[in-house]
């Protein structure tokens, strides 16, 4: 059963609705070319005091909402108890819901999903490792990327063209070529990317191993 709450801040009445149970969410979609943070405010609106900031990949518990704003609980010691309520040391506030997505359940390290579409006799053409960080989720014009192929391509462009590299990134020879980067989306389309791997790339900043095969298929493993 959903519960309605009313309280007053500076004389302004406000109604917000509490969720039946809190749910884990992840901060995502912040533009590294812009402010690159999500403001945590004392109330559900930009007019309220900004008390903290969150960043891409941070985890929060969403426990209620008022319009487009979400009532959140967060912090290193904050977790869900068996009743679906915040437990431990939790800070709380309000954040704009556009930048919060349901947290995926991370697969076990090394998860690739098995069948990736390559033929049994295909050889390995290239292997590289990459941290798909916030920079890799936006193109050079600051537009948010919404596909696995585009994020993988931007990661290689950042490495080879813009020299914007994460410490874990390694080089490769195949995608150093601009044309080869341009066909990466075609390569990903013909390959199988498991849903858990896809979600990790779209909504997180995973560390991955990318294997390109001689038959033109690609495999992505979460590390």
Q: How far apart are CA 200 and CA 222, in angstroms?
A: 8
Beta-carbon contacts of 181 under 8 Å, excluding residues fewer than 6 positions away, are 153, 156, 157, 160, 175
Domains of the chain by start residue, with CATH: 3-102 (2.30.30.40), 124-222 (no CATH)
What is the pTM assigned to this prediction?
A: 0.58
Contact 69, 94 (CB under 8 A): yes
CA distance 223 to 55: 22
Amino acid 1: pLDDT: 40
What phi and psi, each to the nearest 5 degrees, are found at residue 207? -95, 125
What pLDDT score was predicted for residue 12? 41
Q: Which tokens is 14 given?
A: 């406000």
DSSP H or E segment with residue 130: strand 124-131
Give the pLDDT of residue 94. 96
Distance CA 167, CA 133 (A): 11
With CA atoms as reference, report the closest residue to 128 among 156, 158, 164.
156
Q: 125-157, pLDDT tens digit by residue? A: 999 999 998 889 888 888 889 999 999 999 999
pLDDT for residue 167? 85
The CA-atom distances, in angstroms, between 148 and each of 65, 143, 211 are 30, 15, 15
List per-residue pLDDT tens for the chain, 223 residues long. 444 444 444 444 455 566 557 888 888 777 777 788 999 999 999 999 999 999 988 889 999 888 889 999 999 889 888 888 899 999 999 999 888 877 755 555 544 444 455 555 678 899 999 999 888 988 888 888 999 999 999 999 999 999 988 888 999 999 999 999 999 989 998 899 999 899 889 888 889 999 999 888 999 999 8
- Six token digits for residue 144: 């948010």
**Cα 129 to the chain's mean position, in Å?**
18
- Report the alpha-carbon distance of residue 110 to residue 43 in Å, rounded: 41
Cα angle 201-63-36, degrees, rounded to a multiple of 5: 45
């Amino acid at each position: 059963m959903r519960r309605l709450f009313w309280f007053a801040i500076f004389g302004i009445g406000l109604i917000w609705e509490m969720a039946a149970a809190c749910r884990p969410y992840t901060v995502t979609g912040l533009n590294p070319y812009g402010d690159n943070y999500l403001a945590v405010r004392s109330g559900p609106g930009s007019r309220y005091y900004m008390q903290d900031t969150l960043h891409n990949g941070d985890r929060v518990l969403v426990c209620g909402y008022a319009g487009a704003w979400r009532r959140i609980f967060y912090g290193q010691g904050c977790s869900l108890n068996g009743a679906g309520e915040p437990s431990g040391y939790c800070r709380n506030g309000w954040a704009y819901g556009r930048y919060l997505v349901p947290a995926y359940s991370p697969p076990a390290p090394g998860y690739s999903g098995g069948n990736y579409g390559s033929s049994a006799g295909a050889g390995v053409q290239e292997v590289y490792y990459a941290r798909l960080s916030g920079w890799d989720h936006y193109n050079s014009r600051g537009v948010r990327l919404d596909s696995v192929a585009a994020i993988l391509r931007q990661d290689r462009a950042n490495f080879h063209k813009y020299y914007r590299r994460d410490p874990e990134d390694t080089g490769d020879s195949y995608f150093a070529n601009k044309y080869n980067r341009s066909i990466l989306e075609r390569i990903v389309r013909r390959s199988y990317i498991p849903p858990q791997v896809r979600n990790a790339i779209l909504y997180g900043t995973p560390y991955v191993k990318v294997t390109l095969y001689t038959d033109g298929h690609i495999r992505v493993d979460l590390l």
